[in-house]
Amino acid sequence: MSIRLNAERESNTRLHGRWLVIARVVWIALAVVALALFGASIPLVFNEMRTVGTGVWQLSPREARALEQLGLSVSSYAAYWMVMQIVFVMGFAIVAGVIFRRKSDDWMALFVSLFLLISGTMMVTAVPVPTTMLQDVWYFSFKIVEDLSFIFFLPFFFVFPDGQFVPRWTRLLVMGWIAFGLFKRLLPLPPLPGDPIFLGLLAIGALAQIYRYRRVSTAAQRQQTKWVVFGFVLTFVVSSGVQLPFMIFPWLRQSGAALLRLPALTITLLSSLILPVTIGISILRYRLWDIDVIIRRTLVYSVLTGALGLVYFANVVLLQAAFRAITGQGQNQLVTVVSTLAIAALFAPLRRRVQDAIDRRFYRKKYDAQKVLAEFARRI
């Protein structure tokens, strides 16, 4: 009962006086350091991309030759990816800056915006091998910010969106995580199975969010959670979808066709910007209630696109096979035209059926209300 009563009140995460000034100064200092590290690493990353090798962002010798056959140089490839990385970091930084400007007196907003900024920059920031005093400072600063991005990730799942630990015992997990993140470089800790521990804690965080959503969150907080979950799911689906062919067909990574991964990596990089945007909308509570409409339409048109794609592919294959069996000829453009017209004719009725099915399954109240209105209109 006490949990439900607490849920009816909005959490007070406002800062005042000295704590507000300290929080703003720390935020600005860390933001400047993170952006400065990224800016300093741009020449380092660009020079690495201009060389042929086996790095994540480097072209293999085969890919470099294929690129030159298209009239493009490795330097142009490096310049393109640097622009993409700058766009990526600026996307995270702009959202973080807007949150800071609008809600810098809210510690939860400061935490989330700093988490976005640091995570966005650390994903593409390179660190040099320390050989000079300046590079030593750079390396040391990079490791500090990297550790902060590591520390910030998990608490987000336990305190979002109201800054309260739900259930309360998760506070102990977060304290242990922060202590581990702070002292892992200072203490001679034994080697730990990092991935299983991290995934286990992440699963607990997801379960805590589900518990919070079902038992504790207010209506507005549920909409905030929907925005963030939508951003995570959409980013994962888009990035996984464009990378799936390269996992299924290994030859795409081994031949000149590997240049196809350039648009795939571009889509993956840009789709990652969905996440900061949805988190920003959630924190700023901007048009929170639009998420139900967006999720509904995303479900409808995703299922519709997949169904139409399968129907189109089946039509083309079957009609081409029938055409070859009847005429003994190969490909025919008439089959493609007929299949396209069939898809155009199917679009509207199939969309209605898909939308009705999704409304019955996920939006029952809305579906029942529409049915009542439709019946009333028919009787009138």
Boundaries of every domain in the chain: 2-286, 301-379
Within 13 Å of residue 208, how many CA atoms lie on the same side as its CB? 24
User: Is pLDDT at 113 greater than 90 in this prediction?
Assistant: yes
Mean confidence (pLDDT) of the chain:
78
What is the band of 68 on the pLDDT scale with cuts at 50, 70, 90?
Answer: confident
What is the band of 363 on the pLDDT scale with cuts at 50, 70, 90?
Answer: low
**In the predicted model, what is the mean pLDDT of residues 47-75?**
77
User: Is pLDDT at 2 greater than 50 in this prediction?
Assistant: no
User: Is pLDDT at 367 greater than 70 in this prediction?
Assistant: no
Q: What is the pLDDT of residues 186-225, one digit of tens each?
A: 665 555 555 676 677 778 888 888 889 888 888 888 889 8
Q: What is the pLDDT of residues 211-267, one digit of tens each?
A: 898 888 888 888 898 898 888 888 888 888 787 777 776 666 555 555 666 787 888
User: Is pLDDT at 98 greater than 90 in this prediction?
Assistant: yes
Q: What is the pLDDT of residues 276-312, one digit of tens each?
A: 999 999 998 887 877 777 777 777 777 777 777 777 7
Q: State the helix-helix crossing angle for 74-103 and 17-49, rounded to 10 degrees.
A: 170
Extract the tokens encoding 218.
């207010």
What is residue 371's predicted lDDT score, i.e. its pLDDT?
60
Q: Is the peptide bond before 161 cis (omega within 30 degrees of 0)?
A: yes
**In the predicted model, what is the mean pLDDT of residues 26-49?**
90
- Which string of b and e fits 170-200 if b means at least 16 CB within 10 Å? beebbeebeeebeeeeeeeeeeeeeeeeeee
294 close to 233: Cβ distance less than 8 angstroms: no
Q: What percent of the chain has pLDDT over 70?
A: 76
Q: Give the amino acid at 38.
A: F
pTM for this model (two decimals): 0.76
User: Is pLDDT at 100 greater than 80 in this prediction?
Assistant: yes
Residue 234, classed as helix, strand or coil, is helix
